[in-house]
Structure 1
Amino acid sequence: MSQTPISTRIDFNKPGIQWGTLNIPFSYNLSGWAQLQIPISTMARGEGPTVLLMAGNHGDEYPGQIAIMKLMKSLNLEEISGRIIFIPAINMPAAKAATRLSPLDGKNLNRSFPGNAEGTVTDIMAHYLTHEIFPNVDVVIDLHTGGRGVYFYPCAHMHLVENREQLRRMAAATEAYNTDFSFLYADIAGKGLLPVEAENMGKTVVTTEMGGGEVTNAAVHRLCQSGLQNVLIHLKVLAGQETSRVDLGLPPTRWIQALDAEDYIFSPESGIFESFVDVGADVSGDQPLGALHFLERPDREPTIIHAPSKGIAIAHRGPTLTSQGDILFCLAHDVDADVLKTFS
């Protein structure tokens, strides 16, 4: 294993509050000695879990970045039992460019694990998280939205993992986000995923999909921020009284899953997409979900996209302009009662 080239003045074993940067040597401007700096902060006091809290894995996903920046400035050290590591924009180049992929190397950080200390800046960051951060934390919280490409019904989500105790911890923390849906999802876009790397180390992993698109309404911001704080209280790293959905006058979270390839519906051709169904809606088998229209052939009848089965429209295409192969809908299904029993 190569040694990381990342340097920092943060001492992860030191109590108190620290502000600093993760520094990656990278000559991308006029100076041969330039570095890419990723802001990081830690708060540590007494005994308790160590929680890694990050967003901006994909740069164009901003609600989590805002939630972390607000939280790290608002907390008092006396509220902490354990340690929180805050990285509001883990993929800083992409966050500043409003892109999913890093503009420095064209790579997807979320698909770059376990990383490479001798690779590009994205590889180096993935390697640093894998070898320097993940082994020293108990919980990994990675906040996402659908970015500009996909709009999700705001939800917390997770993978199914084989270890029962780890599964129970993850399910309880996912529910603590207090979203209407708790979503089990599958990896359909290749390997190298950040949550999987942390899960394979036995960590409690919590992720979200807080909407998507260029516009984030106030309700999504509030949910992203309040849910995050409630999860930290649930984990007992932050003082306070955990709030349940019952306390909020809401029904229990609805556990749904999209674990089969058929649950992910892709565009068969290019066009402009009209959705017939809002996210969060129940749909029946063969129900029309939307239509592809063709600017260059306005005389042509649109292609109608049908649901392959009944389910819940948890996400759909974000931009109207659509290319062949773009995701149009993710269709989820209620989790079987026997599976739910494994969560408790």
Structure 2
Amino acid sequence: MSHPVTCTIDLADGRGKQAGELKLPRGTGDGDTVAIPIVTVGNGDGPTVLVSAGTHGDEYEGQVAVLRLVAEIEPAQVSGRIIAIPVISTEASRANSRFWPSGANFNRSFPGRLDGPPDEVLAHFFTTVLFPQVEMIIEMHSGGNGALIVPCSHMCAVDDPVQRKAMLEGMEAWNTDVHFLYTPGDNFFPTIAQEQGKTIVTTELGGGGRVPAAMHELAWCGLTNVLRHFGVLEGEPVTRASLGLPPARIYDARGADELITTLGSGLLDQVRAPASGLLEGLVEPGEPVEQGQPIARIWAPDGPTRPPVEVPASRTGLLLGLRAIPVVEEGKGIAFVGEPITREALLAEVGA
């Protein structure tokens, strides 16, 4: 049975550079489709790596980096194959929106289904057609318009010791100062990929509505270095030691798992707003905090004489992310904190 999502290039052909589109039916019954650009760059023997960005339309750091990759990388530089989808959620990207026009959050659409809405049909294509063709995945995110997150690569703490070690080493190859651990919900893109045994590296490259030049450079240098680490792009990968940098710090944010799974809003759900109003941050992402320490306060425009409501840190560690938009609603996620963990402790959890 053919898949309703069609590809205008031959995904089985691992040679040369091909540029085309995934055509996703809108489900309107009139044959109208959404075009999603896809590029493959292949040459000889080696791994196949899927590189994707724009799962959320307003996260542009990865989109620009992957567009640059497919423009600049030539087959002679590759051993194996790169399958690149620079902007998955094309209409959301054009609209500067996290969500599809339907309101769908593509990162919550997995594993997808053939008889579902368009976002789930596309997720089914990823799950059943793209993922089985690759060994590694680089999936690039940031905080988008709504959150400022410490620039980092991060990972899910999978149970398989070999897979966990491979993902840890891939995450570290981004060479960011900070990494953190998270566990996604059952319907997340990374969950389905890692269940198929893939080595998946994900990122949170800042956010807050503007992309500084330094963040574009971090996205580019990290992406190309991880591809070198995977052995698909020519050149030796650099390490923090070779760059004269101290070891990266790893933080455990898995304490937010239950809230993420239940509320489905994202990592910021670890700390939720105790009141509605205007958020004033008291601590910047990347700064250490103590449990109970006020990290923000919320002012009430409709009660200007009332004192603000303080928002305490949920744990001792590093403030990893904070809501970027001051307007907040009671009960909505606004921040998350990670506790320090060593790479040795992370591997020892599964006997790696």
TM-score by length of 1: 0.94
Q: Do 1:3 and 1:117's aligned partners in 2 also have CA atoms closer than 8 Å?
A: no
Alpha-carbon distance change, 184 to 27 in structure 1, aligned in 2, over 3 angstroms: closer
State how far apart, in whole Å, the 1-side matches of 2:351 and 2:94 are: 39
1:153 aligns with 2:150: yes
Task: Tell me the secondary structure at the aligned position of residue 240 of structure 2.
Answer: coil
What's the counterpart of residue 165 of structure 1? 162
Please tell me the residue identity of whatever aligns with 2:8. Answer: R
SS at match of 1:230: helix
Residues of 1 paired with 2:346 and 2:23: CA distance? 43
**What's the counterpart of residue 177 of structure 1?**
174
1:222 equivalent in structure 2: 217
Taking the aligned partners of 2:164 and 2:60, their CA distance within structure 1 comes to 28
For residue 18 of structure 2, what is the aligned residue in structure 1? 18
Change beyond 3 A, Cα 1:135–1:27: closer
Matched residue, 2:290: 284
Alignment-mate amino acid for residue 219 of structure 2: C
Go from structure 1 to structure 2 and tell me whether the alpha carbon gap of 1:170 and 1:305 turns closer, same or farther (over 3 Å shift): same
Cα distance in structure 1, aligned partners of 2:281 and 2:25: 45
Q: What is residue 324 of structure 2 aligned with on the other side?
A: 318
- Residues 132-180 of structure 1 deviation map (CA, whole Å, 9 limit, x = unaligned): 0001100111100011121101000010001111111100000000011
Per-residue deviation, 1:285: 2.3
Q: 1:1-344 counterparts in 2 under 5 A? A: 3-14=2-13, 15-26=15-26, 32-103=30-101, 105-187=102-184, 190-261=185-256, 264-336=270-342, 337-341=344-348
User: What residue is the counterpart of 2:265 in the other structure?
Assistant: none
| SS of equivalent residue, structure 2 residue 68 | helix
CA RMSD, Structure 1 to Structure 2 (Å): 1.7
- On the 8 A contact 1:167/1:343 being kept in 2, the answer is no
Deviation at 1:286, TM superposition (A): 1.8
Letter in 1 for 2:201: V
**Worse-matched range after superposition: 287-296 or 31-40:** 31-40
Q: Give ranges in structure 2 of 5+ residues lacking alignment.
A: 260-268
The alpha-carbon deviation at position 224 of structure 1 amounts to 0.8
Distance 1:329 1:208 in 2: 17
**CA-CA distance at 1:343 after TM superposition:** 9.1
Residue number in structure 1 paired with 2:264: none
Which stretches of structure 1, 4 residues or longer, exceed 4 Å deviation after superposition?
Answer: 340-344
Q: CA separation in 1, counterparts of 2:288 and 2:309? A: 22
Query: Relative to structure 1, is the Cα distance of residues 343 and 66 closer, same or farther in structure 2, using a 3 angstrom cutoff?
Result: farther
Write the distance in 1 (CA, Å) between the matches of 2:275 and 2:34: 39
Q: Percent identity between the aligned chains?
A: 38
Q: Which consecutive residues of structure 1, in runs of 5 or more, have no partner in the other structure?
A: none
